[in-house]
Amino acid sequence: MMLGDSDRIGASCHYLRLGEWGLLLDAGIDPHQGNSTVPPYEKLKGMPVNAIMISHAHLDHLGSLPVAIRHFPHARVYMTPATAALSEVLLFHYLKVQERRAKLARIQFEPLYTPEELENYLYLFQSFEYNFPFNIHGFQESKIDLTFWDAGHILGSAGIEIKWRGKHIFYTGNTKKSKQFILKGAKYPRRTHILITETTYGSNELAPQLRKQNDINRLAEYVIQKIKYNGAILIPVFALGRTQEIMYLLHRLISQGKVPAVPIYVIGMGIKINKIYDRLLHKIYPDFQPKFFKTITADTLFRKQYRKPSIILATSGMMLPNTLSYEIASDFLSDARNGIAIVGWADPETPGGSVRNMNTEKIKAIFGIETVQCDIKVFYFSAHSHREELLEMIEDIHPHNTVLCHGDSEALRWMKAQVENRQLSSRVIIPKPAEILTF
Ligand SMILES: [Zn+2]
Ligand SMILES: [Zn+2]
């Protein structure tokens, strides 16, 4: 049963019933829409929920975990060690975001959970490394075997394999099949009966044709141009994942002499997350030295005091109002010397989405400016598989049943048609909200 959003990218949450046992896969929230997007956990009243599995620490997979634990206090909570470390930071941070939003909207602050509650829940997290099979157990043994697979999306992200009575189920979480700059690409089980897969880039026809190296060269060229005229470049990024990948790329370009050494600013939560990458990245990928990000000189940005030329990595990635990336963008947009580089996905309904689509009229209205002068460029460095990669994955895994999720309706439709036309799976399903599927 899909409890979260079914035809958009919002709260991710699936309920899996295996005989006497019940599992939740992810406990997300749509962080932009807030409390109203908590999955309807009450629908599971009277049903068993023995375990909650978290695929990775982005809020659309994690944000309502404290609410889920309150509903199902006996459930065990499983994730990878890196996801556990990141979840703590993300969940405390999201509490602050909720408070700030309430203050700005002048409404009563009604947090989804309290800091004390969260503090207690953190003790429930049990973590397992990739490729280390474990068993859900309680008073009785469940005979449900679980394995986390590296999903290649962000630090600690996992695809979740569930084996029960000879049946194999695989949930991709968010997945990136090919390498990013830091992460090395996802690994998948060889076969599965039921596949539950994300489809984020299912409607993007451009992505499969793009060559990563071209975009790296384009970015280097763009940075050089802006630096030449003493401009600054804003890169709106998610604090978790995108910040580290782009920071690493810029560091590489600078150390290879392809881009002049200019200050790179990182702000707020991105810094905290860098520290977790520093602590754990080398344990997953031994070719990174411990404290790698500490060796990259990044300046901290205080109250928009930046030098020029420079590069600023600022959250939010979607430039939501009252964030630093929104404020800096408002300053930058009417100055031709500056640039805004978009390096990831942005919901079309957000300011970042309007900038990404270069919708001038919308940009003027949202940011309250007269003209758009600044040089906006989009680069494709995704943390999600593009649609051909998703199809390759499905072909390799060859599932009997494929359940599509985590995509807009166009993405879901395209993927369904392709999986059917290419005969990659006997049955392809786009579930409706709270619809019960039986296999
Ligand atoms: Zn994600
Ligand atoms: Zn997601």
**Which helix (H) or strand (E) element contains residue 163?**
strand 158-164
Q: Same structural domain for residues 166 and 231?
A: no
Tell me, in angstroms, the distance from the centre of ligand 1 to residue 258's CA: 30
120: in domain? yes
What percent of the chain is modeled with pLDDT above 90?
Answer: 79
- Which of 93-97, 139-143, 150-154, 280-284 is least confident? 139-143
Q: Same structural domain for residues 199 and 305?
A: no
Residue 283 has pLDDT above 80, yes or no: yes
Please tell me the predicted confidence (pLDDT) of residue 421: 97
Q: Same structural domain for residues 61 and 188?
A: yes
Please tell me the predicted confidence (pLDDT) of residue 168: 97
Q: Which ligand has the shortest distance to the CA of 154?
A: 1
Residue 23 has pLDDT above 70, yes or no: yes
Domain ranges, residue 371: 211-378
Tell me, in angstroms, the distance from the centre of ligand 1 to residue 30's CA: 12
286: in domain? yes
The CATH number of the domain where 355 resides is what?
3.40.50.10890
Please tell me the predicted confidence (pLDDT) of residue 316: 85
Residue among 148, 104, 192, 216 nearest 395 (CA): 192
Q: Same structural domain for residues 122 and 191?
A: yes
Q: Same structural domain for residues 311 and 328?
A: yes
Tell me, in angstroms, the distance from the centre of ligand 1 to residue 221's CA: 29
Residue 49 has pLDDT above 70, yes or no: yes
Which residues are CB-contacts of 393 (< 8 A; sequence separation ≥ 6)?
172, 175, 177, 186, 188, 197, 385
Residue 311 has pLDDT above 90, yes or no: yes
Tell me, in angstroms, the distance from the centre of ligand 2 to residue 154's CA: 11
Tell me, in angstroms, the distance from the centre of ligand 1 to residue 155's CA: 10
Q: Same structural domain for residues 393 and 409?
A: yes
Q: Which residues pair with 2 in a beta bridge?
A: 14
Tell me, in angstroms, the distance from the centre of ligand 1 to residue 18's CA: 26
Residue 206 has pLDDT above 90, yes or no: no
Tell me, in angstroms, the distance from the centre of ligand 2 to residue 372's CA: 31
Instruction: Tell me phi and psi for residue 2, to 5 degrees.
Output: -90, 115
Length of the chain: 439
Q: Same structural domain for residues 117 and 231?
A: no
Tell me, in angstroms, the distance from the centre of ligand 1 to residue 391's CA: 19
Q: Same structural domain for residues 116 and 22?
A: yes
438: in domain? no
3: in domain? no
The CATH number of the domain where 147 resides is what?
3.60.15.10
Q: Same structural domain for residues 161 and 62?
A: yes
Q: Which ligand has the shortest distance to the CA of 12?
A: 2
Tell me, in angstroms, the distance from the centre of ligand 2 to residue 122's CA: 22
- Domain count along the chain: 2
Give me the residues near ligand 2 (ion), CB cutoff below 5 Å: 60, 174
Q: Same structural domain for residues 135 and 226?
A: no
Q: Same structural domain for residues 274 and 149?
A: no
Tell me, in angstroms, the distance from the centre of ligand 1 to residue 174's CA: 5
435: in domain? no
Which residues are CB-contacts of 106 (< 8 A; sequence separation ≥ 6)?
none
231: in domain? yes
Q: Buried b vs exposed e over 341-360: b needs ≥16 C-beta within 10 Å?
A: bbbbbbbeebbbbbbbeeee
Q: Which ligand has the shortest distance to the CA of 57?
A: 1
Tell me, in angstroms, the distance from the centre of ligand 1 to residue 145's CA: 24
Q: Same structural domain for residues 360 and 423?
A: no
Tell me, in angstroms, the distance from the centre of ligand 1 to residue 406's CA: 10
Tell me, in angstroms, the distance from the centre of ligand 2 to residue 71's CA: 23
Please tell me the predicted confidence (pLDDT) of residue 297: 65
